[in-house]
Structure formats: C-alpha cells, structure tokens
Amino acid sequence: MLRARELAYARKYREARALVDRAEPESAEELSLAALVLVELRDPEAALPLAERAVGLAPDGWQGWVALADADLLLGRWDAAVASARAAVRLAPKEAASHRALGVALNKVGGRGGEARTELKRAKELGGRRALLMPARPRPWTIVVLVLFLVFFSTLPLVGDWPDGLETTFQVLRTASFVWIILIVMGPRRAGLTWRSRFGEIRAANERLYSGGGREASMRAAVALTPW
C-alpha cells in the first residue's frame, strides 16, 4: 500500500490503481492506506467502505478517520466529514493531516470559516506547506472547461473583424486559460478557504476591527486574515 500511495502522489494513477486492485488489505493500517490511495485517485465510492472498515477495526487509529473524512468530502457529505475529522484531531492532535482534514471539512460548512482557518494554520505549523496538500487528482471537467475556453478565445479572433480592444481582451483570456490549465495539471492543490468564506471573514473583520472604514480598512483586514 505504501508503494501505491507513492505512485499516486507521483501522479502515476494507473500503476497505483493496479496495485490497490491486486491488494487484499486486512489490517486497519492497510485499509486506511488503500482508502487514501483511492481518494487520491478520486474514487470515494470505493474508498468509503475501506475507511469504514479501518475505523471499525481500530476506532482509536487516526489514519482511518482521516481517510473517512477525505472520502466523505469527495462525496459531498460535509457534516460526516467534519465529524470524522474531529475524531482524527481528538486522537492525534499533533498530526498535521488531522487538522488539514478538519479545516477543509469546516470550510465546506457555512459560517465556519474562522474555525477552518485556525485548523489550516495549525496544520501548516505542524507540517509546513506540504501539510496543506489536498488529496485527489484534478477534476477532469475543470480541465475540459478551460480547454474549451482556450479554443473559443483562440478561434474567435479568426471569425470576424473585432476592435483592437476586444482582440486584446481575447488574448488576455486565452493566456489566462492556458496558464490555469498548466497550474491545475502541474501544480499541487493546497487546502485553503473558499473565496466566499474569505470575503465573509474580511467583511466581519472590517466591522470588528476597523468599524467599517471602507476600502483601506478592508485591505488591512485582508492582510490581517492571511493565514500563510
């Protein structure tokens, strides 16, 4: 299972999946690792029962709870993910992965941005920026949408006589789409607050710290809330 996880982190997804499919994990540790590999391969349906078995065999093992939380996250089961991640933090308060899982899960629940930010900061303190790496490979549909944007804005200037300003806009959007594709495919995903949660925190901090002092106060609040 360790080899399968290494392959998954190296983005050798087919080889990692082949190892998992051939394996027959029995111990809680092996089940947890297999579940985490399947989460990395974006197959939460297969990961969930393995993580549940791991937790059943070793309810005091934090790895199983992290695997269960990550599987629940991919399945959109936010409350279940929060509960599992809290169990992991309770069992292993000094493990960065536990705090990362809880921070990401809380980020999906409305009104929990402050607590999510605290957990993510704790994860970074314990494990550095690497601790914020998110499981699961990029969503294919995200790349497809960006490729369509790239093709659209590459083709549009060829089918009409556009003003210079619009052609410049097309070029900017085309370049932005290309850069996003590279970042998604090549760059690691890190845990962090959603834009909605971030703006909500900035508004709240603006009111609390700077008495609604306008744009300058909002900028100071944004800097104060930067977790890393």
Residues 6+ positions from 21 with CB-CB distance below 8 Å: none
Q: How far apart are CA 50 and CA 43, in angstroms?
A: 12
> Does the global pTM surpass 0.95?
no
Report the candidate in 117, 83, 92, 114 with the shortest Cα–Cα distance to residue 103: 117
pLDDT at 66 (0 to 100) = 95
Report the candidate in 139, 149, 136, 143 with the shortest Cα–Cα distance to residue 181: 143
pLDDT along the chain (228 residues), means of 10: 64 74 80 88 90 94 94 92 96 94 88 84 85 62 69 72 72 73 52 51 56 54 48
pLDDT at 60 (0 to 100) = 95
pLDDT at 227 (0 to 100) = 46
pLDDT at 154 (0 to 100) = 75
Give strand pairing partners of 190: 133
Residue 95: how many CA atoms within 13 Å on its side-chain side? 17
